[in-house]
Amino acid sequence: MHALRKSQSEGKSLKTFILAVNLQVPGRDHHSAVFYFSTTDDAPLEPGSLLYRFVNGDDSYRNSRFKIVNRIIKGPWIVKAAVGNYSACILGKALNCYYHRGPNYLEIDVDIGSSAIASAILHLALGYVTSVTIDMGFLVESQTEEELPEKLFGAVRICQMEMSSATFVDTTSSRKVLPTVNLHNNVNSSRVQAEEKGENDDD
């Protein structure tokens, strides 16, 4: 977000819109895996499109549409059996999701700890995380024939993630975040230590 604001202060990327998905991982040390997806100036959000309605809709609409698709590319059979080699889920119905809308972004915080089943499956998967490669795609579910075909608004591959490599750093905001240095991919994972009360969503 800071890079985007700096670019816009220089008169660049003025129409760029960012979707940030924050998967909040429960445990003794809380982590967040944060993925950023952006439009470009020559391809902004199309008014009236399914994604446009999702971004500008209310939380009830978003919860009924926010969908994830997973595919385990590599991993032990026990993880594939628990998660499923390929799966799809409406995250807004299965987990508590919180949406923060700014002038040029939408952040989606997904509380995995809000579901006992999801927490148990995640706990199992984390035991093998250094040997797992998984593809994840995020989209707005189509619920009428006119809205088809479904289109991903973002996708990421997580490869053999090293959770133990995380260290605390200070950011320019009031948050203290723990980015994970991943030797196997460029996914930005982080652990949120604390937030000051009264922090604005737009900060």
Q: What is the pLDDT, as a whole number, of residue 1?
A: 58
Up-side HSE of residue 1: CA atoms within 13 Å toward CB?
16
Whole-number pLDDT of residue 8: 65
φ, ψ dihedrals at 69, nearest 5°:
-125, 135
Q: Residue 18 pLDDT > 70, yes or no? A: yes
- pLDDT (tens digit, 9 = 90+) per residue, 145-196? 999 999 999 999 999 888 777 666 465 554 444 443 333 333 443 333 333 3
The residue type at 4: L
Give mean pLDDT, residues 126-132: 88
pLDDT, the chain, mean: 80
For the ranges 6-10, 39-43, 126-130, which has the lowest average pLDDT? 6-10
**What local confidence, expressed as pLDDT, does residue 90 receive?**
96
For residues 32 and 178, which has the higher predicted lDDT (pLDDT)? 32
> What pLDDT sits at residue 14?
67
- Return the structure tokens found at 122: 């995640």
- pLDDT higher than threshold 80 for residue 138: yes
Mean pLDDT computed over 110-116:
95
99 vs 22, 34, 88, 111, 123, CA distance in Å? 10, 14, 21, 11, 25
Torsion of CA 156, 157, 160, 166, to 10 degrees: -10
pLDDT beyond 50 at 203: no
Distance CA 203, CA 200 (A): 6
Angle (CA) 48 108 101, round 5°:
60
Summarize pLDDT for 86-109 with one digit per residue, the tens. Answer: 889 999 999 999 999 998 899 999
Tell me the domain boundaries of the chain. Answer: 19-36+49-194
Residue 142 burial class via C-beta count within 10 angstroms: exposed 0-12, middle 13-18, buried 19 and up: middle
